[in-house]
């Protein structure tokens, strides 16, 4: 927990009335991850009044150990990248309201954003960039060994398991893609799928089955990720026979989907059946003046650099909207 978070818990943050009294914004960004930071920088550089409301500035990047695919930076660490993001955002005088959760969005003559502490902020445009969280498998060992062998992002953490044995939980497109990707790096991959068949596209399944160092286990329910100080195996139950099996390995990739942080929006905006906000090529949602960017949208891929790009798009889209309206 950061010093700011400790102080906030002690009640040192702004109270609801202080926030409600703020002048309306031209662009109000909800979410302070890569997408939100990028959106705020692009908006503020236009010389317009910009604010960011974030539950936790930095978002998922705060939980990332090594980052090796942030183009032009060969290696960095999550908290280090977040510190530079914050410094860059502050450079443009963006009003950062950290440790504040958005609860409700409503369009009146302006767009109103209600926070969990009861404050209501007003803005001419809003960019939602509340990101996503990995769907957890919720078995013993998952939380205990997170970042100690339990991983969620094969693009990010795959190379850490070079030459080791790993499992991928989930046989949908993302699980099978992860297994194919990992098979080129690690010694052996065991894919564990709950259903009797893999759910991935046939072309991916064919590629998977052609690999010599992959074993596929279907109709299997993961019951535990085992370890001492780090992961040393996975236990699953064969759903047909009820038999328990244990595989010794060093890494487990959970690939059962991402959950967008969009529940708080209710029916305000069009969302996919997975809860992702539908945006057009300008980052606009179906509610005029409301834009969205990053992992909370229906973008095909979820990565830092992709979120930053869509944050910039949404900010330029919002600026264009302001000029025309
Ligand atoms: C462990 C891990 C490792 C990863 N490694 C890499 C990597 O190496 N390279 C890479 O490119 N990608 C990596 N990723 C993916 C990358 O972190 C995400 O794609 C990226 O952070 C998405 O950015 P975002 O701004 O859209 O959302 P997020 O980073 O999720 O940020 C969302 C923001 O919204 C805030 N928020 C959420 N709900 C609310 C609310 N109701 N009110 C106010 N604020 C709210 C959050 O606090 C946060 O500030 C990794 C992800 C994880 C989890």
273-287 per-position pLDDT tens digit: 999 999 999 999 999
**pLDDT exceeds 90 at position 4:** no
* pLDDT recorded at residue 121: 98
Q: Which of 223, 254, 285 is the last residue of a domain?
A: 254
75 and 168 part of one domain: no
Full domain range(s) for residue 232 = 150-254
b/e per residue, 277-288, with b = 16+ CB within 10 A? bebeeebbbebe
187 and 297 part of one domain: no
219 and 99 part of one domain: no
Cα–Cα nearest to 196, from 132, 152, 241: 241
Could you tell me if residue 139 is inside a domain? no
Question: How high is the mean pLDDT of the chain?
Answer: 95
- DSSP state for residue 136 in the 8-state scheme: P
285 and 319 part of one domain: yes
For the chain, the residue count is 325
Could you tell me if residue 288 is inside a domain? yes
Instruction: Ligand 1, residue 58: give the atom nearest the CA.
Output: 49
User: Which residue's alpha carbon is at the smallest distance from atom 5 of ligand 1?
Assistant: 156
290 and 202 part of one domain: no
250 and 295 part of one domain: no
What is the average per-residue pLDDT within 196-224?
96
Distance (Å, whole) CA 176 – CA 258:
15
Band of pLDDT at residue 1, cut at 50, 70 and 90 = low
**pLDDT exceeds 90 at position 213:** yes
292 and 197 part of one domain: no
The tens digit of pLDDT for each residue in 91-131 reads: 999 999 999 999 999 999 999 999 999 999 999 999 999 99
Band of pLDDT at residue 12, cut at 50, 70 and 90 = low
Q: What CATH number is given to the structural domain containing 54?
A: 3.50.50.60
**pLDDT exceeds 80 at position 13:** no
Which residues does ligand 1 sit against, CB inside 6 Å?
30-36, 53-57, 59-61, 63-64, 67, 69, 101-102, 129-132, 134, 152-153, 156, 261, 264, 294-295, 302-305, 307
- As to burial, measured by CB atoms within 10 angstroms (0-12 exposed, 13-18 middle, 19+ buried), residue 19 is buried
* pLDDT recorded at residue 236: 98
Cα 145 to averaged position of ligand 1 atoms, centre (Å)? 20
**pLDDT exceeds 90 at position 269:** yes
Cα 183 to averaged position of ligand 1 atoms, centre (Å)? 26
User: Which residue's alpha carbon is at the smallest distance from atom 19 of ligand 1?
Assistant: 303
**pLDDT exceeds 90 at position 310:** yes
128 and 176 part of one domain: no
Q: Which of 201, 228, 254 is the last residue of a domain?
A: 254
**115 is written with which tokens?**
């926070």
* pLDDT recorded at residue 65: 67
Distance (Å, whole) CA 21 – CA 109:
17
For the chain, how many structural domains are there in total? 2
Query: Given the structure tokens 């400790």, which residue do they identify?
Result: 6
Cα 132 to averaged position of ligand 1 atoms, centre (Å)? 6
- DSSP state for residue 273 in the 8-state scheme: T
245 and 199 part of one domain: yes
Give, in degrees to the nearest 5, the angle at Cα 34 between 312 and 147.
155
10 and 127 part of one domain: yes
* pLDDT recorded at residue 258: 87
Cα 232 to averaged position of ligand 1 atoms, centre (Å)? 28
What is the average per-residue pLDDT within 218-232?
98
The tens digit of pLDDT for each residue in 70-94 reads: 999 999 989 999 999 999 999 999 9
The tens digit of pLDDT for each residue in 20-42 reads: 999 999 999 999 999 999 999 99
Instruction: Ligand 1, residue 36: give the atom nearest the CA.
Output: 25
What is the average per-residue pLDDT within 217-225?
98
Q: Which of 211, 238, 254 is the last residue of a domain?
A: 254
123 and 161 part of one domain: no
**240 is written with which tokens?**
């047909």
Cα 111 to averaged position of ligand 1 atoms, centre (Å)? 24
310 and 177 part of one domain: no
**pLDDT exceeds 80 at position 297:** yes
Distance (Å, whole) CA 77 – CA 102:
28
What is the average per-residue pLDDT within 241-246?
98
The tens digit of pLDDT for each residue in 164-209 reads: 999 999 999 889 999 999 999 999 999 999 999 999 999 999 999 9
Could you tell me if residue 140 is inside a domain? no
Cα–Cα nearest to 282, from 302, 262, 310, 307: 310
**28 is written with which tokens?**
């109000």
* pLDDT recorded at residue 324: 96
Instruction: Ligand 1, residue 70: give the atom nearest the CA.
Output: 11
Instruction: Ligand 1, residue 303: give the atom nearest the CA.
Output: 19
């Amino acid at each position: 927990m950061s010093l700011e978070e400790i102080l906030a818990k002690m009640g040192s943050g702004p109270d609801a009335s202080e926030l409600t009294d703020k002048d309306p914004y031209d662009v109000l960004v909800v979410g302070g991850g890569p997408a939100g930071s990028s959106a705020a920088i692009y908006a503020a550089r236009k010389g317009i009044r910009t604010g960011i409301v974030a539950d936790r500035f930095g978002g998922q990047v705060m939980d990332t150990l090594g980052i090796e695919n942030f183009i032009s930076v060969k290696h960095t660490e999550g908290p280090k990248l977040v510190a530079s993001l914050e410094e860059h955002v502050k450079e443009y005088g963006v009003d950062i309201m950290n440790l504040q959760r958005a609860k409700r969005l409503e369009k009146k003559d302006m767009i109103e954003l209600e926070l969990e502490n009861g404050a209501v902020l007003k803005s001419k445009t809003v960019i939602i960039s509340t990101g996503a969280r990995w769907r957890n498998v919720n078995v013993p060992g998952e939380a205990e060994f997170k970042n100690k062998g339990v991983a969620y992002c094969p693009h990010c953490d795959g190379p850490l398991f070079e030459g080791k044995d790993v499992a991928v939980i989930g046989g949908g497109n993302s699980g099978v893609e992860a297994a194919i990707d990992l098979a080129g790096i690690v010694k052996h991959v065991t894919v564990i799928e709950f259903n009797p068949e893999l759910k991935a596209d046939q072309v991916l399944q064919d590629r998977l089955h052609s690999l010599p160092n992959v074993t596929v286990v279907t109709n299997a329910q993961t019951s535990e990720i085992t370890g001492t100080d780090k992961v040393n195996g996975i236990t699953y139950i064969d759903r047909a026979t009820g038999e328990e099996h244990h595989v010794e390995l060093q890494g487990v990739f959970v690939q059962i989907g991402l959950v967008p942080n969009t529940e708080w929006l209710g029916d305000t905006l069009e969302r996919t059946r997975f809860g992702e906000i539908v945006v057009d090529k300008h980052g606009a949602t179906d509610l005029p003046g409301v834009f969205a960017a990053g992992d909370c949208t229906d973008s095909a891929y979820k990565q830092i650099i992709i979120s930053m790009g869509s944050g910039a798009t949404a900010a330029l889209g919002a600026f264009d909207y302001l000029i025309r309206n």
